[in-house]
Amino acid sequence: MKKKILLILVLTGLLTLLSGCMDINEPINAESEGVWNQYFVYPLSMLIIYVANFFNESYGLAIIIVTIFIRLLLLPLNVKQLKSTKAMQDIQPELQALREKYSSKDAKTQQKLQQETMQLFQKHGVNPMAGCLPILVQMPILIAFYHAIYRTNEIKEHSFLWFELGAPDPFFILPLIAAATTFLQQKLMMAGNTTAAQNPQMTMMLYLMPIMIGGFAMFFPAALALYWVVGNIFMIGQTIFIRRPVMNEQNAGGAKK
């Protein structure tokens, strides 16, 4: 988990450099320069505009549809990451036993620990880096979509349901939903994962993340809050209908062994 968090931070830093430390308030258009703008943000902005025009300039509906579309495209990667994470969880007792067996910090003992750890991975067909690859692919797409929503001027000029897309929700309904769905999503992800449930850092994030998302949604344009809500609802459905069956299937397979 710590390695994945570090990886996300490093990737975010690289994306910042790639984007040329640009001002996120700079509107995106065909003249926007830089690899990040031309090949990531602008195409997604045009996709939102195209879908909105198809639905009589309903940019709120366009954000919902494109969010679901992107999440569906990333779904195979999420399943792959899930299976990799589950495989790593299954061998945790054996990994812990190896760490206790080779607890000495001298170079020879640590080398032996690395060798037997790699043998354990090969024995169970586990690739410790397999769970990181989906994150590497997903992060640029999701961050680019975030930029596309925030920097597309056409979105700011329209309303959806009870709120203006370019202004914060005046009734704070979206921020509350965003916070609640963030909490529910993380709670479902932790359910059945005893390692995560016993981790104080994960428990802290369970409560901290919803507060952060809800706080941001209170001040950010409602278009972004709508994006967070739709993404959270999709992930909740994914957890209920895909994550749990995959977990149960792998647990059943492990029991047969």
pLDDT at 67: 92
Rounded Cα distance between 111 and 115, Å, is 6
Tokens 């549809």, located at residue:
65
pLDDT at 21: 46
Q: What is the mean pLDDT of each run of 10 residues along the chain (257 residues)?
A: 48 47 71 84 93 92 93 83 73 81 77 82 72 67 85 88 90 92 83 59 78 88 90 86 62 51
Any idea where the domains of the chain sit in the sequence? 2-91+126-256, 92-125
pLDDT at 130: 60
Neighbours of 234 (CB within 10 A): 20
Please, what sign has the CA dihedral across residues 60, 64, 69, 70? positive
pTM above 0.85, yes or no: no
- The 8-class DSSP code of residue 58 comes to -
- Residue 124 makes CB contacts below 8 A (sequence gap 6+) with 87, 90, 91
What is the number of helices (H) and of strands (E) in the chain?
A: 13, 2
Bridge partners of 159, per DSSP, are 164
Looking at this protein, which amino acid is placed at residue 2?
K
Q: Which two tokens stand for residue 87?
A: 């495989």
- The 8-class DSSP code of residue 164 comes to E
pLDDT at 20: 45
Rounded Cα distance between 74 and 79, Å, is 9
pLDDT at 180: 93
Q: Report which of 54, 16, 61, 13 is spatially closest to residue 36, judged by C-alpha positions.
A: 16
Rounded Cα distance between 147 and 203, Å, is 29
